[in-house]
Amino acid sequence: MMWDWYIFLWGCIGALAPEVARIYKRRQKKILVKNLWLYIIASILFIGLGGILANLLNAQSWLSSFYIGICWPSIVTVAGQKKPEDLRSLSPGQITQPNVISSFREYLWILIS
């Protein structure tokens, strides 16, 4: 397998598409991110992993790598179906500020749920 930057780029663009939709949805609901830099770093890593996955799955065209990038959040969601006990016991009433994402763990939980 050979690394292809073109495939990586299209995988990243595909992974960026759901993130843009997620940001737009949060904007509509007026959900604030408390630690913006951590959110940006996690988003960049998540998008980069879409490009890496497109290369690892040996995508043959820009369209297939774009599709792999778009599906990457779904793959993470399915892989993350086993919830840690502390997150399983967390109910919406226990969150003190429901419109603020206050920790990196909450952001990751939103990504996989």
Q: Which residue has the higher pLDDT, 101 or 34?
A: 34
For 7-31, the pLDDT digits (tens) are 999 999 999 988 888 888 877 777 7
19's CB contacts (< 8 A; 6+ apart) are 43, 46, 47
Q: What pLDDT, on a 0 to 100 scale, did the predictor assign at position 97?
A: 46
Burial call 2-36: b when 16+ CB within 10 Å, e when fewer:
eebeebbbbbbbbbbebbeeeeeeeeeeeeebeee
Domain boundaries, the chain: 5-112
Q: What pLDDT, on a 0 to 100 scale, did the predictor assign at position 11?
A: 93
For 83-108, the pLDDT digits (tens) are 555 555 555 555 444 455 566 676 66
Q: Is the pTM of this model over 0.75?
A: no
- The amino acid that residue 13 corresponds to is I
